[in-house]
Structure 1
């Protein structure tokens, strides 16, 4: 059995796109930093006014939708699960969101903000992981959730 690396470092956008099937406009992670195996990481999302959701949410007062913050947390967690499995020579075909619990939105996120998705593993069993996530802007908590994901090999 291959030992999991203690420190993987960072994943730029090209690596993130290798790990996740999502593409614009639904890829909600620009970079992942502080990767510690499948234990924890920080996903980065730069929010810009030219994103399609701002044409309708809300035109006079653009606010990044909360559901997309949760999706960004899930994508960040899914990427490190995939990276962990690839390091063990098990290539997953898909990562699926299983559960979303204890979601709370604290402050609005607006264009110009940089969101950090702080993800920490709570537990895992075979191909399933559970994470606690906090979305932060300038160190302030804007959203939090517990997320479950499953890797599927076909």
Structure 2
């Protein structure tokens, strides 16, 4: 098993609290797949307003968590860490579907599979699940780019 702990995740992704949405990588195969988890807790700042009295993780944040998982697979596949002047951006989403709500106490499992890479554009098949039940799915595209000056 190839795992990645939070310290290495923070070296690979530019995101920080409250926007870092991957807690641990359970396994990955370079150039193919990655499985990560996000532990969803009531302490998440978005639950204050989404929704008071009925906390539900926003679907766009589930998609963002999946995109962050694709970034981890991308960096491991390239066998490099992001450069100070580079960004890995979420550039497209197709066929997004939401099948169940994600609530505090859930462990969101993020499964991403590299479909293809063409120069700086990466395309992934992505699924988010809780207890083996599909919560959301999408085809996500990301791109490596230079930070604007």
TM-score (structure 2 length as normaliser)? 0.92
Tell me the equivalent position of 2:12: 19
CA distance in 1 between counterparts of 2:11 and 2:80 reads 16
Q: Is 1:149 aligned with 2:142?
A: yes
CA distance in 2 between counterparts of 1:40 and 1:21 reads 21
Q: Which runs of 5+ in 1 are unaligned?
A: 1-6
Change (3 A) 1:77 1:14: same
Conserved 8 A contact 1:82-1:95? no
Alignment of 1:44-55 (within 5 A): 44-55=37-48
Q: Which runs of 5+ in 2 are unaligned?
A: none
Question: After the TM superposition, which segments of 4 or more aligned residues of structure 1 sit over 4 Å from their partners?
Answer: 88-92
> Is 1:101 paired with 2:82?
no
**Closer/same/farther in 2, CA of residues 93 and 106 from structure 1, 3 Å limit:** same
Q: Which residue of 2 aligns with 1:4?
A: none
Cα offset, 1:79, TM superposition:
1.4
Is 1:59 the counterpart of 2:52? The answer is yes
Q: Deviations over 1:51-83 (max 9, x none)?
A: 100000011110011000000000000111122
The answer on 1:117 being equivalent to 2:75 is no
SS at match of 1:42: strand
Aligned to 1:33, which of 26, 30, 35?
26
Q: Hey, what's the Cα distance between the residues in 1 that align with 2:82 and 2:53?
A: 47
Report how many aligned residue pairs link the two structures.
146
